Amino acid sequence: MAAAAAPPGAGCSPAGGGSVPVLFCFSVFARPSTVPHGAGYELLIQKFLSLYGDQIDIHRKFVVQLFAEEWSQYIDLPKGFVVSERCKVRLVPLQIQMTTLGNLTPSSTVFFCCDMQERFRPAIKYFGDIISVGQRLLQGARLLGIPVIVTEQYPKGLGSTVQEIDLTGAKLVLPKTKFSMVLPEVEAALAEIPGVRSVVLFGVETHVCIQQTALELIGRGLEVHIVADATSSRSMMDRMFALERLARTGIIVTTSEAILLQLVADKEHPKFKEIQNLIKTKVERSLK
C-alpha cells in the first residue's frame, strides 16, 4: 500500500527503486511521471504544477484525490499519505458555489480606479457626477488607509486622469492598452498587500474596462464590489446590461455611500465623522 493511512486497495501496485511511477490527472489530461519514494502531499502538488502549471489557476482551491481500486473511484487523499507504489492521482478544483456575503473591512480591501481620463469627459454620460463620487471614494480610502490602484488607458492619446481626482498616496498609477486593469504590475502590487480579499472598482467604461477587470478579478478568487454611482459608459444601455450581467456572476453592485459606511461599520469608528462629512457633501450636491 502507498501509506499506512491509505485504505486497502487504494489503486497502487508495488514498485521498487528510488522513484515511483505516478499518473497525474488534471481536467481531461493524464500525464505519467515519477516522484521519489515516500513523496507526500507537497511533492505531489509541486509535480502537478510542473506538469500543468500553465493551466492551473493558483488562486483557486483544489483537492488531491487518489484512485482507490477497492471502490473503483477516486477518493480524497488520505491523511498522512506517502507514495510507495505505483498509483494514479488527480487534482480537482473546488467548485462549490458559496453565497458571497460582501463584507468589507479596510485591512482586506483595495480600491481600483479605472481610466478616469480627460478625453472621456465629453463622451461618457454623467461624467462630472462619477468624477465627484470617485474623488470622495479616494478621499475615503486615504482616511481609512486603503491602498488605491489607478490605471490610465493609452494616456498618450486619451490624456491623464482628470485633475479633479486627487491621486495623492496611490499605490500604483499605471498606463495600459489592455482593457482589463489586471496587468502583471497590478497583480504584483496586489501580492504585496497582505490579506487582500475585496476590490472596490469604479471608473469607465462599465461595459468594457470595468466589466473585463471585474471578471478577471473574480476568476482569481477576489470579491468585487462595483460602485454603480461611480461608473458609467457612453451608452446607458451598455451600462445597464453590463451591471446586470456582472450581478448575475456574483459581483456586488453597490453605491459609494454603502461602501464607505460598510468600511467604518460603527458610529464609534475614529474616522466616522470624517466619512460622514464626505457623504454629507454628496447629499448637499444632489440637492442643488
For residues 216 and 244, the answer to whether their CB atoms sit within 8 Å is: no
C-alpha cell at 71: 471502490
- Measure the CA–CA gap between 284 and 288, rounded to whole angstroms: 7
Closest CA relative to residue 218, chosen from 181, 254, 251:
251
User: Which member of 12, 88, 209, 229 is catalytic?
Assistant: 209
C-alpha cell at 238: 451598455
- Measure the CA–CA gap between 207 and 210, rounded to whole angstroms: 6
Burial class (CB in 10 A: 0-12, 13-18, 19+), 158: middle
- Measure the CA–CA gap between 15 and 128, rounded to whole angstroms: 71
Kind plus residue range of the DSSP H or E element containing 263: helix 256-264
For residues 6 and 77, the answer to whether their CB atoms sit within 8 Å is: no
User: Which member of 47, 87, 113, 115 is catalytic?
Assistant: 115
C-alpha cell at 150: 489607478
Give per-residue burial for 251-268: e unless 16+ CB within 10 Å, then b. bbbbbbbbbbbbbbeeee
For residues 182 and 215, the answer to whether their CB atoms sit within 8 Å is: no
Closest CA relative to residue 170, chosen from 114, 242, 98:
114
Q: Is 125 helix (H, G, I), strand (E, B) or coil?
A: coil
**Residue 115 falls in the annotated catalytic set:** yes
User: Which member of 47, 88, 176, 282 is catalytic?
Assistant: 176
Question: N- to C-terminal Cα distance for the chain?
Answer: 77
Active site residues: 115, 176, 209
